Structure 1
């Protein structure tokens, strides 16, 4: 962890809960760039992120964690590399109600491969109350194929405690000496 400013990226498909997760833990009113959905996203939700989401947390010792959420649509992938510059870690949220959440996860791992060469990963599986499959074990097996063993947590992005656990798993991956 850096002494002052640290950047964490939240990514994943449309509707996985990125905007909600950032809003549930940010100590400031989150910056959102939502616009009315006009494509196939409209089938999942009325509004969608078109640029990025931003929130902030302060830790002990004046350390700040800046939280950036990417848009989930592939047409905004040009922004992902830009937003990722200088990031210390990546949180991928996977919506278990989507038609193929394992393929979604693989897509985002590939899209953020450059960041993952230098930064740790944590996976948050959302909407498991609506669809229990794939299971956390299924995702862990998939990660093995990528040679990765990230923490995988089932979370509700509306629950600040769930999102804090996800973020703490990432922060401990970055700096195992952190105090809770």
Structure 2
């Protein structure tokens, strides 16, 4: 029987969510872009205001539905709508941000309910532009929060790197499902 995986791609504005979905999607990405009205936070011209959507077929009829959530807090109502059916999340954090470790913590807290029931992986983007903090600092912050999660250095434009993150996430979702008692529902 074919399975469907609903996966969120979350993170701050400019972390590479739309780019990562575009790198993976087999269909033209549905985008809801608008002019960026917060250039002080990020100089990019547009920003996602509702969602980005892409799809990937895994074989045997299995499908991954990727939903990119807006990075700005003023659109956080979309976070709640989109996370309801999600089985997991790829969290992207821009390493060149002024305080990327705080961004990591903020998003983990914001998606705490999904983290409690679903699988999470973390991708650190733009490490080619800013090598600090190192990946070890992300692991240390996660440890302070009592979390052990896979952390990847990822170029959101590189389909192979993003696919590795997604494959890890799907494996985690399947492992969680295998641990559930027969007849249990998520």
TM-score exceeds 0.5: yes
More deviation, 73-82/15-24 = 73-82
Considering only CA atoms, is the larger Rg found in Structure 1 or Structure 2?
2
2:31 aligned with 1:32: yes
What whole-Å deviation, never above 9, does each CA across 1:32-81 have from its counterpart, x for those lacking one? 11111122367420010011000000012100100000000011111101
- C-alpha displacement at 1:3, in angstroms? 3.4
More deviation, 68-77/35-44 = 35-44
Please provide the CA RMSD for this pair: 1.5
Residues 98 and 172 (structure 1 numbering): CA distance in 2 closer, same or farther, change over 3 Å?
same
- Give the equivalent residue in structure 2 for 1:7: 6
Q: How does 1:1-180 map to 2 (within 5 A)?
A: 3-40=2-39, 43-176=42-175
Do the aligned residues in 1 keep the contact of 2:88 with 2:173 (CA within 8 Å)? Answer: yes
Q: Distance in 2 between matches of 1:125 and 1:75?
A: 23
Query: Aligned to 1:98, what secondary structure does the other structure show?
Result: coil
How many aligned residue pairs are there?
A: 176
Q: Distance in 1 between matches of 2:41 and 2:148?
A: 34
Greater share of strand? 2
Q: Distance in 1 between matches of 2:120 and 2:45?
A: 29
Q: Distance in 1 between matches of 2:107 and 2:92?
A: 10
Residues 76 and 41 (structure 1 numbering): CA distance in 2 closer, same or farther, change over 3 Å?
farther
Structure 2 unaligned runs (5+)?
177-186
Structure 1 unaligned runs (5+)?
none
